[in-house]
Chains A and B, each alone.
Chain A
Amino acid sequence: MSSLINTSRPPVFCPGCSHERITHTLDKAFEKMGLDGNQVVIVSDIGCSGLFDTFFNTHAFHGLHGRALTYATGLKMARPDLKVIVTMGDGGLGIGGAHVLSTCRRNIDLTLLILNNFNYGMTGGQCSSTTPQAAVVGSGFLNQLEKPVDICQITAAAGAAFVTRTSSYAPDLVDEMVAAISYDGFSVIDMWGMCPGRYTKRNKITPKSIEVDLANLPRFKGPVAENQRKEYGSGYREVAAQLPTPARPDKIEARFQPPATGRQEVLILGSAGQRIVTAGEIFCLAGMTGGWHATLKNDYPITVLRGHSVSEMVLSPQPVDYTGIDRPKVVVALADEGVGRRKKMLARLGSDTLIIKAAGVTLPDTGATVQEVVFKAQKIKSQDWALASLALLAQKNRVISMEMLKAALTVRFKKAILETAVELVERVSE
């Protein structure tokens, strides 16, 4: 195997920049592993670490600041066979922090090379998430007030399975890289280095001082014992292979003659837990067994277990254009929460609208025909009132018939639940 360095585009780093060392070390690592250029993708972030993809004869992906791990994840999920290397500076770590944490948690087989030189070299040496508080940088006094992060502790705490902290000048850096790239899971190497263009002008730092500083920090070298687990992509594919083939949507045949003609608007006003949405669906399915077109809109608050639940249904012999409800033929009022949402409309209704109202529910003044039902006296629980109300409509052939309702129940329910539902719709009475 030979070098993957792109000789037509030699590195352009400042003299003395540790990035150049890392470039050649990475090339040696590829060479040691016997990798061809087309087996490798270099995904580079923004800043001087963002130049890396151009120096190699490999696949290359250079995108937005801090987002390199997101592209790398997409690439790796689509092409698990590729070796995906991400080069990122301490700037990318900060702006893309959420992506770093998520990648650690996932343990997808990528290698993150952190070119950590404690400042934003490309924009004027401003402070980054790893700048020491005592450093003099291009952000004035701001870095003195912020604690730098220890990215090795953070990534290990977030679940990274392989974390190494080292110097860009470490004699065994190539072996560390080979170990990280070979590791089947997410691997991170935090490489401390020097930025002669910006940082080392005002902050004394040498390969030797880096070595001394590193010796005083918790050691990270390779696999993190407590984070060893299956690689995300292989785990994903294993689980996915066991999943059943999903069914496509049911088809409803038109089998019955509906008892009404023209557009039918129906409204159910209830509260959470009353199975309003399910009743709305059953009503529409019933309409469809009569050859009608149907639309269903549901309205409920984000707290799905409390508050109003409203379903708006339109049945029509023609495809439904406008899906709003202004002149309902029937309103089913089962809870004050739902009624509260449509007070203005209820007040406008005339006697051609039938309101089926559960006992205890308060309606605003309305011209509609109101029929009160005491479900409790029939030992029907609140969660069944909506379906029971549909049964009352079906019993009087109002909008839907009983055969349409039962056919809809057969589409929606199976076995014991179906039996209970059929028993309910037969038993309820006015």
Chain B
Amino acid sequence: MALSFIEGNEAVALGAMAAGCRFFAGYPITPATTIYNAMLTYLPPEGGVCLQGEDEIASIGYCLGASMAGNKVLTATSGPGISLYSEQISFAIGSEIPLVIVNVQRLGPSTGSATKGADGDIQFMRWGSSSGLPVIVLAPVDVADCYRLTAHAFNLAEQYRCPVFLASNKEIAMTRESIDLDAIQLPDITTRKAADRNKPFLPFATGSEDTAPNFLPIGDRTLVRQTSSTHGVNGYITVDPDEINAFQNRLEKKLKAHVDEFTFFDRDLDPQARTLVVAYGVTARAARVAVATSRADGKPASLLTLKTLWPVPERLIIETAAPYDRVVVVEMNMGQYVREIQRLLPGKQIDFFGQMNGNLIKPEQIREVI
């Protein structure tokens, strides 16, 4: 076994390269900067492009332009940058522009603490755009996930033509870990489906009401239109309520109806347990220790680690939680994803433990709640 010693951010860059990323733009911000550093090392020598934007709005704007030219694109920032990305994210949602966004979360609110971790943006990533239409959010637990889930994030962005977030955290992103990269199974690479050039091209036409349109790049032989305005299948403004309705429903359904196909998770279930711990991100690692300790102490417990956070993997959560009386949700914030768990499991006792003080939640703290 040969191990490499890399941090989560470098693993993200390696995952992006493996997934076929050709374009990166970002604005330096701790704790996301080292993704930009790595992409600047990896991309240009291989014929790709890495740019430093004059600000976050520009950085994601460069990405949207390059994505519409057919490139697989990546940007990375932290909470303050996600705020500035917001309007462009709405554009990418509504105009179906594939894009991977790494949010290396840090302690907020606002500029907060640049070098302290938190999972404070979990609802923000889901709802921080105009319209309230869904996005995909994947949450890595460790360096291996940063590598693997980044590759999945690119595939999902291509398949569903939407922004896909990787909800990282300073505590994963800037922690170096020994890792056997060769032992990690990456998915087969997906690339957005090309439209049939022998038929008249309608940039937003789909074969069904829950899929993304086929793609042609700007610069193709066939003319391509992209617009942030409310558009019909032809890419021109529409005011037809029926057409608008069909479009909004499709954007909602194309992700929500397919979440079972990209529900990533880990489960460590004990048939004797009456308590299920639900966690995600770096906190899931402390939860693993806490569950093991609890079992050793004679108090069985189970653990569900969610790696797909949005759309909410409702089936997985309901089915996994079914045998338990009590669910303990642990988050590195003041209580965000627990709202989804409460919504899905109305009959159960739901206990929450959260902490957002710049420190990792300790296994002992979770053990006490169990």
Q: How far is the CA of A325 from the CA of B147 in the complex (A)?
A: 25
B217-225, B245-253, B331-339: which lies at the interface = B217-225
Asked whether B149 is an interface residue with its Cβ less than 8 Å from the other chain, the reply is no
Q: How far is the CA of A83 from the CA of B225 in the complex (A)?
A: 15
Contact mask B44-77 → A, CB, 8 Å, 1/0? 1111010101110110111111111111010000
Output the residue of A78, A245, A299 with the most chain B CB within 10 A.
Answer: A78
Asked whether B171 is an interface residue with its Cβ less than 8 Å from the other chain, the reply is yes
Size of the B side of the interface (Cβ < 8 Å), in residues, is 75
Nearest B residue (CB) for A289? B3
Q: How far is the CA of A341 from the CA of B229 in the complex (A)?
A: 52
How many residue pairs link A and B with beta carbons under 8 A? The number is: 213
* Cβ A77 vs Cβ B49 within 8 A: yes
* Cβ A281 vs Cβ B58 within 8 A: no
- If A77-B49, A78-B70, A294-B178 touch, does A41 touch B219 (CB 8 Å cutoff)? yes
Partner of A240, one of B44, B53, B66, B363: B44
* Cβ B289 vs Cβ A322 within 8 A: yes
Q: How far is the CA of A62 from the CA of B235 in the complex (A)?
A: 10
Asked whether B156 is an interface residue with its Cβ less than 8 Å from the other chain, the reply is no
Output the residue of B14, B225, B282 with the most chain A CB within 10 A.
Answer: B225
* Cβ B69 vs Cβ A75 within 8 A: yes
Partner of B227, one of A60, A82, A254: A60
CB proximity of B75 to chain A, nearest CB, Å: 11
Asked whether B265 is an interface residue with its Cβ less than 8 Å from the other chain, the reply is no
A50-58, A138-146, A210-218, A220-228: which lies at the interface = A50-58
Asked whether B285 is an interface residue with its Cβ less than 8 Å from the other chain, the reply is yes
A18-26, A95-103, A328-336: which lies at the interface = A95-103
* Subset of 9 A-B contacts with CB under 8 Å: A37-B223, A41-B219, A60-B235, A63-B64, A71-B68, A77-B51, A102-B54, A321-B285, A321-B286
Q: How far is the CA of A61 from the CA of B87 in the complex (A)?
A: 16
* Cβ B2 vs Cβ A59 within 8 A: no
Chain B residues with Cβ below 8 Å from A41 are 218-219
* Cβ B175 vs Cβ A254 within 8 A: no
Partner of A71, one of B49, B65, B177, B220: B65
Chain B residues with Cβ below 8 Å from A244 are 45
Chain B residues with Cβ below 8 Å from A293 are 3, 177-178
Q: How far is the CA of A74 from the CA of B51 in the complex (A)?
A: 9
Nearest A residue (CB) for B235? A60
> Which chain B residues have a beta carbon within 8 Å of chain A's beta carbons?
1-6, 10, 14, 22-23, 25, 30, 41-42, 44-47, 49, 51, 53-55, 57-58, 60-71, 73, 87-88, 91, 114-115, 171, 174-178, 181, 217-229, 235-237, 282, 285-286, 288-289, 359-360, 362-363
Chain A residues with Cβ below 8 Å from B360 are 322-324
* Cβ A250 vs Cβ B225 within 8 A: no
Chain B residues with Cβ below 8 Å from A357 are none
* Cβ B227 vs Cβ A70 within 8 A: no
Output the residue of B41, B45, B178, B227 with the most chain A CB within 10 A.
Answer: B178
- If A99-B58, A251-B4 touch, does A81 touch B219 (CB 8 Å cutoff)? yes
* Cβ A99 vs Cβ B54 within 8 A: yes
Partner of A38, one of B87, B175, B223: B223
Give the contacts of A7-62 with B (CB-CB under 8 A): 9, 37-38, 41, 43, 53-54, 57-62
Q: How far is the CA of A194 from the CA of B3 in the complex (A)?
A: 67
* Cβ B285 vs Cβ A323 within 8 A: yes
* Cβ B1 vs Cβ A321 within 8 A: no
* Cβ B359 vs Cβ A324 within 8 A: yes
Chain B residues with Cβ below 8 Å from A298 are 174
Nearest A residue (CB) for B69? A78
Give the contacts of A237-276 with B (CB-CB under 8 A): 239-240, 243-246, 248-254
Ranked nearest first, the 3 interchain pairs of A and B with the lowest CB-CB distance are A74-B65, A70-B61, A78-B69
Nearest A residue (CB) for B45? A243
Chain B residues with Cβ below 8 Å from A236 are 44, 49
- If A74-B65, A240-B47 touch, does A320 touch B87 (CB 8 Å cutoff)? no
CB proximity of A71 to chain B, nearest CB, Å: 4
> Which chain A residues have a beta carbon within 8 Å of chain B's beta carbons?
9, 37-38, 41, 43, 53-54, 57-64, 67, 70-79, 81-82, 98-99, 101-102, 236, 239-240, 243-246, 248-254, 281, 284-285, 288, 291-299, 302, 320-324, 326
A77-B51, A294-B5 known, 8 other contacts, Cβ within 8 Å? A61-B65, A63-B227, A74-B62, A74-B67, A75-B66, A75-B218, A82-B218, A288-B178
Chain B residues with Cβ below 8 Å from A254 are 1-3
Partner of A295, one of B64, B66, B176: B176
Output the residue of A74, A81, A243, A251 with the most chain B CB within 10 A.
Answer: A74
Interface of A: prevailing SS: mixed
Output the residue of B22, B175, B220 with the most chain A CB within 10 A.
Answer: B175
- If A78-B70, A243-B44 touch, does A250 touch B363 (CB 8 Å cutoff)? no
Chain B residues with Cβ below 8 Å from A72 are 65
Q: How far is the CA of A294 from the CA of B223 in the complex (A)?
A: 53
Chain A residues with Cβ below 8 Å from B55 are 98
Q: How far is the CA of A281 from the CA of B91 in the complex (A)?
A: 42
Q: How far is the CA of A253 from the CA of B73 in the complex (A)?
A: 34
Partner of B64, one of A59, A71, A82, A299: A71
- If A78-B71, A321-B286 touch, does A59 touch B44 (CB 8 Å cutoff)? no
Q: How far is the CA of A288 from the CA of B2 in the complex (A)?
A: 9
Chain A residues with Cβ below 8 Å from B49 are 77-78, 236
* Cβ B88 vs Cβ A62 within 8 A: no
* Cβ A252 vs Cβ B226 within 8 A: no
* Cβ A248 vs Cβ B14 within 8 A: yes
Partner of A59, one of B6, B51, B225, B237: B225
Chain B residues with Cβ below 8 Å from A245 are 45-46
* Cβ B235 vs Cβ A297 within 8 A: no
CB proximity of A36 to chain B, nearest CB, Å: 9
* Cβ A240 vs Cβ B3 within 8 A: no
CB proximity of B181 to chain A, nearest CB, Å: 7
Chain A residues with Cβ below 8 Å from B222 are 38
Partner of B219, one of A82, A251, A292: A82
Q: How far is the CA of A324 from the CA of B364 in the complex (A)?
A: 12
* Cβ A9 vs Cβ B66 within 8 A: no
Q: How far is the CA of A168 from the CA of B206 in the complex (A)?
A: 42
